[in-house]
Amino acid sequence: MKTGYLIDMDGVIYRENQLISGADEFVQSLIATGTPFLFLTNNSAPTPEDLAVRLRHLGISGVSPRQFYTSAMNTADFLSEVDPNCTVFVIGEGGLLAALHEQKIASDSLHPRYVVVGEGAASMERLGKAHECIERGARLLVTNPDNWCPVSSEKTRPGAGSTAAFLEASSGRRAYYLGKPNTYMFHRARRKLSELALSAPEQVVMIGDTMETDIRGAFEAGLQSFLVLSGSTQLEVVNDYVYQPTRILQTVGELIEEVKNGKASDRLNSPAFAEPSPHSRSGHRHQTDAFAFDKPRPRPAMTK
Ligand SMILES: [Mg+2]
């Protein structure tokens, strides 16, 4: 039995509406060899159909809507498992509304059991209503913990995590966050991957570009993780994290050959595992190296 892949999208397949080099051939090699794969995204706004269209516009054809698993679907799966007859007040877009509808979870703006927060659609009026629902006893559930999401290399937008932070502050209640890196996201994605493949893959690999979500979540779920450097993470920062990817690749293009011959390498080849040279020291040698302080400060972590 083959390796199955869980694949993050932004920073792995495309960036700023540009396909990443080798991504199309990588996906086509998965399809051609019948390798099980599922796209895994924390973006709760689009439906799986929207995402399939998006890939088609970028030039990747042959991907069915069944091959996407979003944080919105994970939230709907969670509710249908823990509280199938519950009602919800939603701040979110079409992908979240459709996922909840599919699990037959009803909307209720008077006495909902949960306030569900996803990407977008936050207005002061909706936030005020959500706040009142929480005051009346509704629990706060969030599709994903991202405080901000990249729009382009210079631009970001607020994510579901920041909307939830508003409600946590106003209500004094703590939210529960689904999506990556929550192990429940990986547990359900893995189940869906097995359903697609009609049996459980021998090993499951998560491919992602973000340490805090893709790599951390895969590690905690006991999966292998391949970090690609085509997105939000630079090689220099990988060592800052206590959890590490199994492998580090420039792009998914490096996996095409092994997908074609069916033998995924599981060797630990991360530069982060290399022995530090006994002669290397951190820090600058001279106090005169003051230019180092002029470096722009990196943005704080994307998730809580
Ligand atoms: Mg990403």
- If one compares 201 and 1, the residue with the highest pLDDT of the two is 201
pTM here is: 0.87
Distance 210 CA to ligand 1 centre (A): 6
Torsion angle of the four alpha carbons 146, 148, 151, 157, in this order, in degrees rounded to the nearest 10: 130
Element (H, E) at 187: helix 183-197
- If one compares 269 and 258, the residue with the highest pLDDT of the two is 258
Q: Does domain 3-42+181-272 have CATH number 3.40.50.1000?
A: yes
Domain boundaries, the chain: 3-42+181-272, 72-177
Residue 287: pLDDT above 80?
A: no
For 214-241, the pLDDT digits (tens) are 999 999 999 999 999 999 899 999 999 9
Q: Taking residues 104-133, what's their average pLDDT?
A: 96
Q: Taking residues 234-250, what's their average pLDDT?
A: 94
Distance 40 CA to ligand 1 centre (A): 9
Buried b (16+ CB within 10 A) or exposed e, 260-282: eeeebeeeeebeeeeeeeeeeee
Distance 231 CA to ligand 1 centre (A): 6
| Partners of 74 in beta bridges | none
Distance 10 CA to ligand 1 centre (A): 4
CB contact at 8 A, 270 and 55: no
Query: CA-to-CA distance for 162 and 159, rounded, in angstroms?
Result: 6
Residue 114: pLDDT above 90?
A: yes
CATH of 72-177, one of 3.40.50.720, 3.40.50.1370, 3.40.50.1000, 2.40.110.10: 3.40.50.1000
Cα 300 from chain centroid (whole Å): 17
Specify the pLDDT at position 155. Answer: 85
pLDDT band (50, 70, 90) for residue 284: low
| Catalytic positions, written as ranges | 8, 10
Using only C-alpha atoms, the chain has a radius of gyration, in whole angstroms, of 20
Sequence-distant (≥ 6) Cβ neighbours of residue 289 within 8 angstroms: none
Query: CA-to-CA distance for 150 and 22, rounded, in angstroms?
Result: 22
- % of the chain beyond a pLDDT of 90: 77
Distance 46 CA to ligand 1 centre (A): 15
Instruction: Look at 32-41, 117-126, 279-288, 295-304 and tell me which has the smallest mean pLDDT.
Output: 279-288
Distance 156 CA to ligand 1 centre (A): 13
pLDDT band (50, 70, 90) for residue 200: confident
- If one compares 155 and 33, the residue with the highest pLDDT of the two is 33
Residue 271: pLDDT above 70?
A: no
Whether the domain at 3-42+181-272 and the domain at 72-177 fall into the same CATH topology: yes
Burial (CB count <10 Å: 0-12, 13-18, 19+), residue 81: exposed
- % of the chain beyond a pLDDT of 70: 87
Distance 279 CA to ligand 1 centre (A): 35
Specify the pLDDT at position 37. Answer: 97
Instruction: Look at 11-20, 151-160, 291-300 and tell me which has the smallest mean pLDDT.
Output: 291-300
Specify the pLDDT at position 293. Answer: 47
Q: Residues lining ligand 1 (ion), CB within 5 A?
A: 8, 10-11, 209-210
Specify the pLDDT at position 281. Answer: 55
Distance 84 CA to ligand 1 centre (A): 31
